Structure 1
Amino acid sequence: MKKRGLWLFIIGSLLVSVATHFFFYQQWLDKHWMIGPNDGLSQIATFKKFIYENYKSGNFFYAWDFGLGGGFYSQLAYYFSTSLVFLLSSVVIFILDSFQWIDPSNVEFWAQSNLFISIIRLSVILFITSHTFRYMKIQAFPAFTGAVIYGCSVMYMRHVVYWEFFADAFIWLPLVVLGLEKLIREGKQSWLIFAMSATLISNFYFAYIQLIFLILYVLGRWVIPLTDNELPRIKQFKLLVTSGLVSFCISAVAFIPAVYGFFNNYRPPYDREIPLFDLIDNILFASPYIVLPVVFVLLIFTFPLYRNRLFRFFAVFSFVLLIFHLSPLAASAFNGFSAPQYRFEYLLSFTIGGCVAIGLQRLNKIAVRFICLASFISLCIYLLSIDYFDFNIKIPKRAATEFSAVMITVFVLFIMFIILMVLYVYFQKKVLLVTIQLFVILWSIVSVNTAAKYGITENGGLEKVTHHYLMSDQYNSAEQRNLIEQVKRQEPDSLSRIDWMTSMRYNTPIVQNFNGTSLYSSIANKALLWFYWRDLKVDTGHETVSRYGTLGNRANLHALLQTTYWMRKKSQEVNVPYGFKKFAESNKYVIYKSDFSLPFIRTGKNIYSEKQLQTASVLDREHAMLSGVVFEEEATRQKLDLIKEKNAIKQATIKGVGAKYQNNHLSVANDKGGIDIIPGSVQKSTKDFYIGFSIKNVNGDGFPIKVNKYRTTRKPAHSIYKTNINDLIIRVPAKDIISIRLPKGEYELKNLTLYEEDYKELHQAVQAADHSPSFTWEKNKLTIDYNNQTREKWMALPIPFEKGWKLWINGKEQAIEKANYAFIGFKLYNGENHIEMVYHPPYFFPALALTIIGLFAWAMLYLRSKRRESGHLNNQSVKMRSLLMKVDKSRD
């Protein structure tokens, strides 16, 4: 590309990108931020802040304040910890931060910056895509027009707003295509290796999607060759395999820990039937995923264009991806054969862009009658689409009005395109073709801004994402932060936790900079998830996957997990955990502090196994963890001498209140109905009840549950975020009656249990606990010096168990065991124990070695390619000189 043309593409890409974000720039000036109110604020901006702060401080792998503690490099690789776009932007932000020109220490900065990062990202996407199309011998202006259709799409803006890291895939796709084309046409591998490596490093999820695309693309290229001098397929295959292996090696240091994090997560299997086809949206007029440009619809029915191999290739590929869009089964396949998710449509935007680019370039070779035929077919399809969605899909009144406006606009656009195309084909004036292309670009910009206003902002809840909201009680108010800071100033233990989060914001501890008990991440440590869902059945107040939070107001767990403080709104300060006393308060909030705290490092002699406690109640399991340690393995464990608590449900009286309860079936007649459980003879020392039951709505609806003053919710059966675990344990202060209240409906309610807790074991554990041995914890390394004079058998830490930790005692590597269902424990020596624990992401060093090998192999392939080019040029020079000598001799 010549220098002048290069600058035209750069400037044009930047101008179009700025224009595409015009609506959000206006919003930004009014302090409305370009980020989703749910995952955008709960995850995207929050994790960017969290990772940046850790990387800035030189901590790259592990954080105690990541939920209950965890390896964030591995678990957040799905988001940003290995994202090249994020890392590059972080370098720029770090430089600006160093000069104190910006303040990235708060989540609002990252919400604000999303707009400007997106403008730059889209500019890069447009430039790279244009270059890719130019390489395919598409002229400059049509190539840029096709790039605009790809980049300035609804899917791009949707990804940027709701899940920003998804938008990075728009960069890597055209680079992968460029690399494939260079390999197929020239036998060059470097571009493909770079593109695939960048994709694998940045996000393993979209690497999977683009792997499917790559396979389909190569198969399509083998069926429809685009040039006459392509490499033989066998050689292409060999180079593809080599490139794939080198790319995998280069990316290994990021990709392998990320994939481990994915497999160490738990997501309930999606057990609903997935249909083969389903019309979920109207792709001709209004869709949150893909809206077919009018010019594309007209061009794909302009049949003479199919004589061109490049157009035929892109058109057929677009049809295949369109079929995939209409198939929930295909959407499931693109989502790892889980619940159908429509995140792959950016692939379709790319093929549509290529189709339009080559179609516009060859429009001058089409007769008017073919344009008229394409117009007639397209018109029929649009009319049939309106008819189908009018009679088969119910649209809300407001949306119906907006849909009518969109429909009229599309038809006006349709007529204008027909007129312009007919005029151009008939008169063959270049100015008309330029007008068509400008019109396509302008409409792409207008449609995205329109979708941003109505589809994303007004219907997606973005209007509430403002500076005022981010400073409010619903997210991160000054009153909340001041109370948290008061705790941090007065609490000498830097590892102490606070049980607090704003409503449904499980990542509040990251937002407000404190050690909390909650986390919301699509990739989480499954040991912790099972700890909450199955082993200890800790209710989080809301049934949902990918999240854990609070400790169910259970004092035993608070003591075991360093959670000394409990903070709530004053209007919600019910069910305060046992042993907590008021510590501080403000106008709206109150913090309680526990009288019962256990040291961070615990040692002891009593050892139990999970198998021994398999049939025990969760209260018995809590007591086992207080009096000893529970290891996963059964070998060499002592005989269980734990006194099991008695299930008092048989001595209780159960009666329906506004409901009938019989044979595990509960029929609630009104919204305040349910059952009352009247305990039998309650011990005077009983402080709390642990009430347990299994419940589900017979009709599959979601519903709230209220147990005395404690409230929790259950998701509907069809929700993809349902845990599929219906067993609950609710702790409530001991009273004469336990009231379970439900909305009107039919329920299956079974396995009722009732246990009394007097906290004798908690008192004993606190009294018997020694002071925590001296230790230092810096970044990913924990060092403990412990003189085991009392022949303690084990040491347990409230650090979540996960692969990546290594343990050395007195210089010898020792095994780490899973203790207390989800945490770390290990055996001790008598006498001095110098303990070192270091965390690195799983398989980090073997993966790093692979990365070094991959980079070396890439360099070797590049140098070999250069030598071949040089040799080829030398051969050409020799042949030319020989030819010139022959010519000279013939003249003589």
Structure 2
Amino acid sequence: MKTIFSKKGALSILFLFVASFVTHFYFLQSDAYFTVNSDALSQMAVFHKFLGENFRSGNMMWSWNYGIGGDLFGEFGYYYSTSLFFWASAFFNMDTIFHVVQLKIGLSILKSFSSMLIMFILLKYLKRTYMASIIGALLYGGSIFFLKHSLLWDFMVDSMVWLPLMILGFERWMKEKKWGLFTAGLFLMLSTNFYFAFKSSVFLLIYAVFAFIGTKQTLTIKGLFRFFFGWGKFYLLAFGLAAAAFIPSIYALFQANRGGKANEVPLAFAPEYYAGILETTFNLDGTYSILGLPVAMLFLYTVGFTFLNRREKSFLYMSLFMYVLYFIPFAHSFFNGLSEMQSRWVYLLIFSVSITSAFLIDRIAENAGKIKASRALIPFLVLGFGLFAPIYSRNAAFASYEWLILGLTALCLPLFLLAGKMGKTAFYLFLSGILALNTFGTQAVFSKKSLGTFYGQSTMDSGVLSQPGLENKAELELIRSIQSSDQSFYRMINDGNKYHNAPMYQDYHGAGAYSSLLSGNLQYFLKQRHNVLFDHDSINKFNHFNNRFYLESYMGVKYHMVPKDSAAPVYNADMVDQNESLTVYENPYALPIGFMQTQYAAEDDVEKLSFTERDQLLLQAVYTEKPVKELNWEKFNFKNLDSERIDQQKPFTLKNVKQSGKIFIVNEKGTISIPIDQQKIGTDDEVFVEADLKQEQGERFNMKVEGIHTQKLPVENKYAYPTKGFVINLGHSYEKDSVTIKLDPGEYRVSSIKVYRQKIDTDKAEQLQKQSLTDIHYEKNRVKGKIEAIQDGMLTTSIPYSKGWKTYVNGKEAKTLTVNHAFVGTPLKKGTYDIEFVYTTPLLKESLIISAIALLITIFSMIRTRRRKK
């Protein structure tokens, strides 16, 4: 690769370096904080800062600030924890989100340049000219896919850097039988992100198939086997090297709960999708475009295909194959792990088009005099009609970007017709200019139209940082005040912020999380077993316990931060602090992280209980999947639960609503009121509404119950959690004689609406407080304490269960059980004990051993290869 270090090589690399800045010009010249909207702020920026702080402090396994406690290395393998770019950035100052977003702009430019540089090197290795290699690299690293994902979900473009490196290594293995670079590229691809590793691995197989077709004269089963075995063993070696990163992340994926929905993938998209093929491919298709390829692509493919040799045509066929997949729904599902359709795999198509274009450009330049007029005219007419007819059909005026596309399209026709007369250099320069203008123009329009307007980043400024949940001065003042006065283990809920990941950013033990790999057990416990109300039923979120006394006491929620002058959120809570905008209440019945329970229930019996009864049971008895035979303890009598229905058997009072059996047609400002027996509600009772209803057309709808809001996503929505109905806590001081539900206009099927009251048993909470862990010490991934068990029972905790937890009783490892479906517990006989819970990321040790063995094999193989050469 000496040509890379030549004068032309240096100028080429300089151009790509400048190009990486030009593609980010919108953000570099504006005051917009590109990562402060959508997931970019609520997930990516927070994760980056949070993980960086933990990893720098030596904590890589567990944090109590993630949800109610969660794994850092395995669960965040989907995002950053195994990314080389993240690790390189983790040592920079990230005290605030401002520092994070400034760093992310730099990282985005670095990734863009890196992807273009490696693509350029790959194309030069494939003996492309400098100009063709520059163009191919620019098409790849300057794509809309890269810009959109890098500035919204930045972890998704790491794979775009390692993909050309992997293919460069593969080509080097094919030509020179040198496997070091191939293994290194595979290792980086596999270890960085398991989600994209799957997509890139599938593409490697596709690439290998077309490479075999393009390089082998005879196609035999034996030859095919030897070819795939030849590089397959290096894939397995790289997989072993990456095991320490790959396996824990895969394990975390299988422990998550993605809703269990059956994904219906159609055989084909709607006709409109195919009718707009050219517009989708070459224009900006609304705010979601991820192709927007330069207009010259159609000319290149149409004009130059006959000039390619056998191997070069294999690249052409591969890119066409990948393009066909773009219009097949199953492909979008397959590349997403046979789940819901996603287009995140399209970087593979862009790579194929970019590498093929470099070959086409060179061959057209070499054979410019042979280009027939019809070859240039036909794609011009097709492209002109396909791009601009839809604009007229919509009776829309041409936008500035569409005029640019029109002009560049018009320039392509004379360029190809006159290519034979202008010479190679002029042809390269003109075509490069068209492609560069198209690429940079697409980037500029997309940045302003989609990222700036649709995602709202142009409206963001430094004021966003003071929002609740981030660097809000009033919140941080109270949080730090509580932490300085109370250094025990507890959880705190901030009722006034919309950022579920606020505990990560503001550094406190909360109850919220917004992540793609949330614990499946915990999600089931909250959303199915207890049906806790959230802002909407997302598979990726939870953020509180609906102010439910039993749930919050069980979880150890000791403090609530609410807007000033708000009523106490939980029963008998005491106001302990206040500033100009917020009030802090303390729940005196919050339980420590571990406590003894001496009665048990069968998990099957729990399923038969109402939601209010399940809440009460948490402080009455513990349940496990299997009986705990070594304990001599008492089975719980469910008659001891104090809960009853209080909705009266009277017709609902309807306003702007028509009823026909179980079908309710709700008009504007429509409400349904359910009469209740107010006399049954005691001063120490909580009141719950259990509503089992759904929108008949399966559409998203909003519901308010006495001012408490939630949103139900359509069942088929890929982010919907399939919770049945709603359970809403109306509080402990409900005084009305009816409950009013307000719904969006629409048609609803109402199976049932029930209202319950349940007694708040503070005595039971106080009793458990006396039978709990004392002298508690907790740190990164361990909890220590002492306990006196006055009789046989279960040490029940609010530590989310994972196989990574080990329990030590008086220094010896003891049973670690799943209790109450989602938490850690251990059986104890009567006596006094020192207890310690220790966490290690599941399968990390085992996968480290695999990686170590693979490393030894790699070293041995390299030494052996060198000796053979001598």
Fold conserved between structures, TM > 0.5: yes
List aligned pairs for 1:665-684, cutoff 5 A: 665-679=663-677, 681-684=679-682
**Distance verdict in 2 for CA 1:189–1:236, change over 3 Å:** farther
Partner of 2:591: 598
Partners of 1:681 and 1:205 in 2: how far apart? Answer: 56
Residues 727-783 of structure 1 deviation map (CA, whole Å, 9 limit, x = unaligned): 2111113322222222232211223333212212x3322145226322322222233
Q: State which of 80, 105, 108 in structure 1 corresponds to 2:95.
A: 105
Aligned pair 1:43/2:37, yes or no?
A: no
1:265–1:526 CA contact under 8 A, matched in 2: yes
List aligned pairs for 1:162-561, cutoff 5 A: 162-225=152-215, 233-268=224-259, 269-278=261-270, 280=273, 282-287=280-285, 288-303=289-304, 305-368=306-369, 370=371, 372-386=373-387, 389-390=390-391, 400-401=396-397, 404-473=399-468, 475-493=470-488, 495-500=489-494, 503-561=497-555
Q: Gapped runs of 5+ residues in structure 2?
A: none
Partners of 2:422 and 2:592 in 1: how far apart? Answer: 86
**Distance verdict in 2 for CA 1:777–1:473, change over 3 Å:** closer
2:303–2:364 CA contact under 8 A, matched in 1: no
Q: Gapped runs of 5+ residues in structure 1?
A: 94-102, 872-892
Partner of 2:824: 824
1:48–1:110 CA contact under 8 A, matched in 2: yes
Partners of 2:25 and 2:695 in 1: how far apart? Answer: 47
Partner of 1:710: 708
Q: Which amino acid aligns with 2:268?
A: L
**Distance verdict in 2 for CA 1:377–1:145, change over 3 Å:** same
Partners of 1:411 and 1:371 in 2: how far apart? Answer: 22
1:371–1:421 CA contact under 8 A, matched in 2: no
Residue 793 of structure 1, CA deviation: 1.8
Residue 823 of structure 1, CA deviation: 1.0
Q: State which of 14, 19, 28 in structure 1 corresponds to 2:22.
A: 19
Partners of 2:469 and 2:70 in 1: how far apart? Answer: 26
**Does 108-117 or 53-62 show the bigger shift?**
108-117
Partners of 1:22 and 1:390 in 2: how far apart? Answer: 28
Determine helix, strand or coil for the equivalent of 1:383.
helix
Partners of 1:865 and 1:222 in 2: how far apart? Answer: 25
Q: Which amino acid aligns with 2:702?
A: P
**Distance verdict in 2 for CA 1:840–1:758, change over 3 Å:** same
Q: Which amino acid aligns with 2:29?
A: Q
Residue 474 of structure 1, CA deviation: 7.6
Q: Which amino acid aligns with 2:243?
A: A
Residue 669 of structure 1, CA deviation: 3.5
Residue 570 of structure 1, CA deviation: 4.6
1:155–1:289 CA contact under 8 A, matched in 2: yes
Q: Which amino acid aligns with 2:570?
A: P
Partners of 1:391 and 1:575 in 2: how far apart? Answer: 60
Aligned pair 1:796/2:786, yes or no?
A: no
Residues 783-803 of structure 1 deviation map (CA, whole Å, 9 limit, x = unaligned): 333344x23422111110112
Partners of 1:45 and 1:574 in 2: how far apart? Answer: 33
Residue 671 of structure 1, CA deviation: 1.7
Partners of 1:226 and 1:299 in 2: how far apart? Answer: 26
**Does 437-446 or 611-620 show the bigger shift?**
437-446
Partner of 1:4: 6
Q: Which amino acid aligns with 1:481?
A: L
Partners of 1:497 and 1:518 in 2: how far apart? Answer: 10
Partner of 1:640: 636
Partners of 1:585 and 1:380 in 2: how far apart? Answer: 70
Partner of 1:617: 610
Residues 291-339 of structure 1 deviation map (CA, whole Å, 9 limit, x = unaligned): 2222221110014544323431222112111111122221111111211
Residues 219-270 of structure 1 deviation map (CA, whole Å, 9 limit, x = unaligned): 1112222899999543322222211211111111110110011111111224
Partner of 2:579: 586
Residue 662 of structure 1, CA deviation: 5.7
Residue 146 of structure 1, CA deviation: 0.7
**Distance verdict in 2 for CA 1:541–1:21, change over 3 Å:** closer
2:307–2:363 CA contact under 8 A, matched in 1: no
**Does 338-347 or 561-570 show the bigger shift?**
561-570
Residues 584-625 of structure 1 deviation map (CA, whole Å, 9 limit, x = unaligned): 333433332213222222113122232222201222222222
Determine helix, strand or coil for the equivalent of 2:635.
coil
2:265–2:333 CA contact under 8 A, matched in 1: no
**Distance verdict in 2 for CA 1:663–1:574, change over 3 Å:** farther
Partners of 1:330 and 1:829 in 2: how far apart? Answer: 56
Q: How many residues are paired up?
A: 847
Q: Which amino acid aligns with 2:653?
A: G
Determine helix, strand or coil for the equivalent of 1:13.
helix
What TM-score results when the alignment is normalised by the length of structure 2? 0.92
Residues 100-121 of structure 1 deviation map (CA, whole Å, 9 limit, x = unaligned): xxx4122221122111111112
Partner of 1:697: 695
Residue 822 of structure 1, CA deviation: 1.3
**Distance verdict in 2 for CA 1:423–1:499, change over 3 Å:** same
Partner of 1:130: 120
1:657–1:674 CA contact under 8 A, matched in 2: yes
**Does 719-728 or 267-276 show the bigger shift?**
267-276
Residues 651-710 of structure 1 deviation map (CA, whole Å, 9 limit, x = unaligned): 454422213456433232432411223226414344321221211111222222121132
Residue 429 of structure 1, CA deviation: 4.7
**Distance verdict in 2 for CA 1:377–1:803, change over 3 Å:** farther
1:169–1:199 CA contact under 8 A, matched in 2: yes
Aligned pair 1:66/2:32, yes or no?
A: no
Partner of 2:724: 726
Determine helix, strand or coil for the equivalent of 1:803.
coil
Partners of 1:228 and 1:502 in 2: how far apart? Answer: 69
Q: Which amino acid aligns with 2:548?
A: R
2:401–2:441 CA contact under 8 A, matched in 1: no
Identity, in percent, stands at: 24
Residue 71 of structure 1, CA deviation: 0.9
Residue 9 of structure 1, CA deviation: 4.4
Q: Which amino acid aligns with 1:366?
A: N
What TM-score results when the alignment is normalised by the length of structure 1? 0.90
**Distance verdict in 2 for CA 1:273–1:575, change over 3 Å:** farther
Q: Which amino acid aligns with 2:140?
A: Y
Partners of 2:627 and 2:123 in 1: how far apart? Answer: 63
Partners of 2:768 and 2:387 in 1: how far apart? Answer: 75
Partners of 1:459 and 1:765 in 2: how far apart? Answer: 49
**Distance verdict in 2 for CA 1:831–1:286, change over 3 Å:** same
Residue 861 of structure 1, CA deviation: 2.5
Partner of 1:884: none
Determine helix, strand or coil for the equivalent of 1:752.
strand
Determine helix, strand or coil for the equivalent of 1:40.
helix
Q: Which amino acid aligns with 1:109?
A: H
Partners of 1:501 and 1:302 in 2: how far apart? Answer: 63
Residue 840 of structure 1, CA deviation: 1.2
Partner of 2:848: 848
Residue 461 of structure 1, CA deviation: 1.5
**Does 599-608 or 438-447 show the bigger shift?**
438-447
Partners of 1:53 and 1:475 in 2: how far apart? Answer: 16
